Amino acid sequence: MSDFTSNFWSVYVAGISLASIVACLLLLWLSGKAKAMTASDNTTGHVWDGDLREMNNPLPRWWVWLFVITTVFALIYLALYPGLGNFSGKLGWSQIGQYEAEVAKGNKEVEPLYAKFNAMKPEEVARDVKAMAIGERLFMNNCSQCHGSDARGSKGFPNLTDADWLHGGSPDNIKESITNGRIGNMPPIAAAVGTPDDVRNVAQYVLSLSGSPHDSLRASLGKAKFVVCAACHGADGKGNQVIGAPNLTDDIWLHGWGENAIVAMVNNGKVNQMPAQKDKLTESQIHVLASYVWGLSNKAGATALK
């Protein structure tokens, strides 16, 4: 109900709920008072199959009282728990509150498992077999949906097993990315580059930076226009990890390779988001997870202990 700017709908829902309960009780009471036209033998006169007669017997008392108890229970429930519009109930219960309490309880129970790793450097954690087993499970539960179960990513989702990092691949950088998330924003800059031909020339120049097949003539024409891109990617095209600008001189293409893919990026821009995990994972869990991710691209430094 918090999405509504007026309190009308809250009152409306609460009124309908209470009116429905009262109407049920009223209907039950009126049914008990109403007198049906019956014959002297207490039948309604309806006969089926020659000898099946409809009787006019009152409702069983146990059924009536069960119905009354049900409506009373409904009123008590609505007084204690949310159900009447914006009214949160006397107990103050909420799904979010229960979820957070259960998560806090679970984190408290597993915290002793992480105590050993908290005092260890990420490089040391990455060499611990038990820590990496925990890190793998954390990764599968929280990261694999985007980066894949093998952490190799896909189009639009970075490969975490190579040495190419948008925001830096040190343990601290990885921990910061997991904790606070990242937002990558490539603005559409076609108007600043120039004509559609200029955009395609720039695309050819970008291809040349990584040694990819390209048109050398058009690449030479696009070099001067690359100054617009250099504001983020640098004059040499090697990118800027401070702002997450990709390195254009390697052969790694996050959003697709080729002239058309680059032209589309220049024309339309792109916004990518890595969600923050600080409200979902504890610091200890992030420490182990960051160590695991670091180890994926640093196999030599993360060789498991024998």
Phi, psi of 205 (to 5 degrees): -65, -40
Q: Are residues 115 and 157 in the same domain?
A: yes
Q: What is the pLDDT of residue 304?
A: 47
Do 262 and 192 fall within a single domain? yes
Q: Does the pLDDT of residue 223 top 80, yes or no?
A: yes
Q: Are residues 150 and 70 in the same domain?
A: no
Residue 270 lies in a domain: yes
Half-sphere exposure in the Cβ direction for 116 (13 Å, CA) = 9
The candidate with the shortest Cα–Cα distance to 276, out of 206, 176, 205, 202, is 176
Closest CA to 25 of 62, 60, 75: 75
The answer to whether the beta carbons of residues 193 and 225 sit under 8 Å apart is yes
Same domain? 162 vs 282: yes
Residue in this structure with the two tokens 């199959």, named with its chain if needed: 49
105 assigned to some structural domain:
yes
Using the predicted structure, report yes or no on whether residue 303 has a pLDDT greater than 60.
no
**In a domain? residue 2:** no
| 60: confidence class by pLDDT, cuts 50, 70, 90 | confident
Task: Assess whether 155 and 288 both reside in one domain.
Answer: yes
Taking residue 28's Cβ as centre, other Cβ atoms within 10 Å add up to 15
Question: What is the DSSP secondary structure assignment for residue 34, as one 8-state letter?
Answer: -
CB atoms within 10 A of CB 289: 25
Task: Write the CATH number for 286.
Answer: 1.10.760.10
Q: What are phi and psi of 138, to 5 degrees?
A: -60, -40
- What is the C-alpha separation between 163 and 179, in angstroms, rounded? 21
**Interval 265-287: pLDDT, tens:** 999 999 999 999 999 999 999 99
Does residue 76 share a domain with residue 64? yes
* 40 domain-assigned: yes
- 195 with 138, same domain: the answer is no
Residue 287's contacts (CB-CB under 8 Å, 6 or more residues apart) are 114, 117, 118, 122, 125, 175
Crossing angle of helices 8-33 and 61-80, rounded to 10°:
170
266 and 280 part of one domain: no
Tell me if 196 is assigned to some domain: yes
Q: Which residues contact 108 (CB under 8 A, 6 or more apart)?
A: none
Same domain, 209 and 68: no
Look at residue 161 in the predicted model and tell me its pLDDT: 95
Q: In this structure, are 267 and 283 located in the same domain? A: no
Q: Which domain holds residue 109?
A: 100-181+275-296
Listed in sequence order, the residues at least 6 apart from 161 whose beta carbon sits closer than 8 Å to its beta carbon are 150, 151, 152, 296, 297
Which range, of 21-35, 41-55, 239-253, averages the lowest pLDDT?
A: 41-55
Confidence of residue 19 (pLDDT cuts 50, 70, 90): very high
Do 193 and 241 share a domain, yes or no?
yes
pTM exceeds 0.85: no
Summarize pLDDT for 132-166 with one digit per residue, the tens.
999 999 999 999 999 999 999 999 999 999 989 99
Q: Say which amino acid occupies 251.
A: D
Other C-beta atoms lying within 10 Å of the C-beta of residue 281: 20
Residue among 143, 157, 102, 190 at smallest CA distance from 292:
143
- Judge whether residue 216 has pLDDT over 80: yes
Domain identity same for 197 and 269: yes
Partners of 55 in beta bridges: 43
Domain count, the chain: 3
pLDDT of res. 306: 37
- In the chain, the amino acid numbered 135 is G
Alpha helices, H only, the chain: 8-33, 61-80, 95-118, 122-125, 129-142, 144-147, 171-180, 190-193, 196-209, 216-223, 227-233, 259-268, 283-296
d(CA 59, CA 66): 11
Any bridge partners for residue 56, and if so which? none
